[in-house]
Structure 1
């Protein structure tokens, strides 16, 4: 399959390069934000070769491709003539307050679009950090690296650097979403982490700005404060763009932003964001202590539907709010591990029971991708939603694994797509946690595999079109 051609064909279907406002991709989806929806050929969205499913979600046209999505993205980026993914029309002078030139769509779509735009570009760095930590844990457990060595020290601070400077990374992505100058936004993130302020927080020193008390709190690894700060700063910058004379705008607009945002950030928005983050972390901790089975079971059960409608990204802010507070997360890691393994087990069972050679080959591929890569969309669109009775089997298997994960107290210490390969992300302070993860994996796999293998699944002897699934759901 020529995935570069797939990307170019997708570009053609959404109206060509002149109709693209923003281009991004995640682990499996090529995502277009378009200027004029009427130019998109809706009838041909699902006819692009190499695309498992095309859909409109969160204000974007998304093409589900699989692990080869980067080839498609690069082909489109080369054709459009961009390097970072954003088409060069995001200037403060012509952006609406939301950062988009058109604010069409319901509140849910807007919220999903904001979350995706802010967090998805940062995910590769977060995953790299998680996998580095997991590898380091393995090396130390095997006594291959001494915790007192320079290698250990360097690898540790390299992995931790992503979380320490997370506000700066999120400032850059938030600036693109809200239509603000990235340099200014990153400065707002960096000032929260400056050693002078951090040392004052550690020492318990009180600070004030023109008599306004500063809440002395650490913003390292926080999520909500910087997003609030950049959102408000984008309005201040647009105000300067509108009312400052052109002759001084270039010099005094950044000054205006900083004069307004320094006291607002340290005295109002930062503290509000920190309190919100602490509240979310406290709520999640309460759920874990009082109803530990709830979140993993819920996520393990409905994960296929969350992925289908792009709702899985909603968990990202919660994950990092909890991780920054307690050093681990229970929001998605335990439940998604059960789901991802269930998807792989379902595809493997279909591969073994089907008499169709094409189905067997495709199912084996999607099974491997889900089990070892944690990428489930090929399995979901290719088989879970394609054959009757498979979706309930996957949901039951995910629920069984998620229930055990919750009852056993499984947590995740680092972020990466849950899979067999990324099991080390469940290694941490509790030595038994990794075995809880293995048991969760085994339960989800066995339950789903047995159900799919023995439950009647129609049409496993012939290839059917993927379109039937989504139409049926609608």
Structure 2
């Protein structure tokens, strides 16, 4: 199934346009605010292909997708007419503001920061590459190339006040361009020149704190918050006939003065306090703080709070090295990747192996842990425990050696140069040791603790007859086989272009794109139903499997013309008996697909439906196993 089909399923599952107040997304999650979350079936959403999991946070219904989230977002926003930003819905905004202070704060920070994360990650990775190139001597710090590429990496951080002015203005429904002007005032070259001069600064006799606001987070957020009330005040007091002139004049002047004299300094002090807290923890309780932070980082990610902490580690990593959050994330991210890799090695379930392998690559190489967390470790529990134990041990080492990050990038193997610093050569070695500790311990613990991912069923060549059973069933004598009723190409049920089958509303199974029109009995059993339109047959195997063979999609409309049925209701058949001959060309000429779903209609009576690995099948090939 493609992204478009999965996006449509998500859209329908959350109640479509009628239930969506707005939709936005971050790096890995679709973030819906719904009118009524209670009508959404969480388990149904989790089963949609591409969905790693769901989360309820700060009034948002979050659907975890992973790295492809923007593709899903692009598809969904084309399906209905609804706001694509939280601030575009005033009704829901007022509901949110009724939450407690902490929820309001985290929602505000997360909503403002989330749209910026791709730019910050991109800039951070460029800075990491520059660090690497200059460290190995492939680029001179005196070259123009170095200067320009450094600009590429610094730009997303330097202009943070303007970037945040845009997102915060949407959140608070403030005039966007006025908010941008407020951010621009903070980093205007002339003002920065005054700050760098080292002299006292005054504005109309009022003292101005001599501080640089470039790369700052909190000051502009406070300023835009204040602008919400200033604009409401000016709207009331400025006469309508002068509003077009006086309102923007007064807003720029008032917010400029208040920002530089009052709000900006307060925001700077708040940022300094946050940085001081980080340094204080690192200095006096690193041995305790780091193990706790590294161990519980997966749970922090699960709640979406990791980006709400962004002002802390941005302030730390820009002004001074970060000694707390980014190092802890290194241990946690590597642990998630190692746990997923261990699951991929240990499992005998092909689908689990595929999911775990992809999740391991995402966490280890890119530092994106949601696929590992929601698709593997949280799902099987014990790998999560293994990663948390290992994270704590690696965190203890981090606290002892005081590991520092010198650039903002999501910690991973790819971004490891963020821990490089010429003045502290041992810091990079410590980072490598953290990776080794976290990876090896997690991998070994996961292998020892094990996990339960259901029956360990592996596929084999069906021509081995009875010998095949021992290889496939792994000791489970209840495993049953369903052979393909027709020669052709086998595909997953998710790939069928019909939501009834793709969403497994009728049951689990597979589908076959037939090469010829002869359909045979897939097992020994009884014909339960031959549909009047002859396009579908219901069977029940002697072992209790109820199977629907649906020849083509929407072919009920053909009223039986292309079909010649060879069996009747309640007839007992043996595996290989001819059931029906279908004129595939006639079906195609009529404009219908010939893909044939094979559905176990009593799926709930079994533990698992396991497709064969083969893609080319015939009546002598097992299409899937029923456990």
Once the 2 structures are TM-superposed, how far is the Cα of residue 228 of structure 1 from its aligned partner? 0.7
Aligned equivalents of 1:300 and 1:40: distance in 2?
Answer: 36
CA distance in 2, matches of 1:88, 1:231: 13
Where does residue 379 of structure 1 map in the other structure?
372
Q: What is aligned with 1:289?
A: 283
Alpha-carbon spacing, 1:68–1:216, altered in 2? closer, same or farther (3 Å): same
Aligned counterpart, 2:32? 32
- Aligned mates of 1:31, 1:2 — CA distance in 2: 21
Distance 1:239 1:48 in 2: 48
> 2:87 and 2:260 mapped to 1: Cα distance?
32
Mapped to 2, the partners of 1:311 and 1:462 lie a distance apart of 36
C-alpha distance in 2 between matches for 1:102 and 1:221: 28
What pairs up with 1:128-277 in 2 under 5 angstroms? 128-277=122-271
Deviation at 1:369, TM superposition (A): 1.4
In 2, are the aligned partners of 1:28 and 1:69 still within 8 Å (CA)?
yes
Which structure would you say has the larger Rg? Answer: 2
1:424 is matched with which residue? 417
Residues in 2 aligned to 1:110 and 1:263: alpha-carbon distance in whole angstroms: 27
Task: Give the C-alpha shift of residue 264 in structure 1.
Answer: 1.1
Deviation at 1:247, TM superposition (A): 4.5
In the TM superposition, what is the alpha-carbon distance from 1:274 to its structure 2 partner? 0.8
1:445 Cα offset (Å): 0.7
Q: Which residue of 2 aligns with 1:14?
A: 14
1:86 aligns with 2:80: no
Distance in structure 2 (CA, Å) of the matches to 1:247 and 1:42: 53
Calculate the TM-score normalised by the size of structure 2.
Answer: 0.68
Which has the larger share of strand? 2
Structure 2: which 5+ residue stretches go unaligned?
Answer: 458-606, 609-627
Q: Note if contact 2:314-2:408 (Cα within 8 Å) is conserved in structure 1.
A: no
Whether the aligned pair in 2 keeps the contact of 1:401 and 1:440 (CA below 8 Å) is yes
Asked if the contact 1:278–1:325 (Cα under 8 Å) also holds between the matched residues in 2, the reply is no
Deviation at 1:74, TM superposition (A): 1.0
Q: C-alpha distance in 1, partners of 2:379/2:230?
A: 49
CA 1:183–1:214: 2 relative to 1, 3 Å: same
Deviations 1:394-422 (A, max 9, x none): 10011111111221121111222211111
Q: CA deviation at 1:3?
A: 1.8
The Cα of 1:224 is off from its aligned counterpart by 1.1
CA distance in 2, matches of 1:452, 1:161: 42
Quick check: 2:378–2:384 contact (8 Å CA) kept in 1? yes
Q: 1:236 to 1:297 in 2, by over 3 A?
A: same
- 1:71 matched to which residue of 2? 71
Does residue 351 of structure 1 match 2:344?
A: yes
Structure ranking higher on relative contact order (CA contacts 8 Å, 6+ apart)? 1
C-alpha RMSD of matched pairs (Å) = 2.5
2:311 maps to 1:313: no
Residue of structure 1 equivalent to 2:40:
41
SS in 2 for 1:79: coil
Change in CA separation of 1:442 and 1:197 when aligned onto 2, cut-off 3 Å: same
Q: Against the structure 1 CA distance between its residues 245 and 60, is the aligned structure 2 distance closer, same or farther, given a 3 Å change threshold?
A: farther
Bigger shift: residues 454-463 or 70-79 = 454-463
Say how many residue pairs are matched: 457
SS in 2 for 1:461: coil
Equivalent residue, structure 2, for 1:124: 118
Q: Which deviations, in whole Å up to 9, do the C-alpha atoms of 1:104-128 show, x marking residues without a partner?
A: 4333332221111111111112111
Partner Cα distance (1:186, 1:428) in 2: 35
TM-score using structure 1 length: 0.89
Shift of 1:176: 1.2
Are the aligned partners of 2:282 and 2:324 in contact in 1 as well (CA < 8 Å)? no
Q: Which runs of 5 or more structure 1 residues have no equivalent in the other structure?
A: 466-474
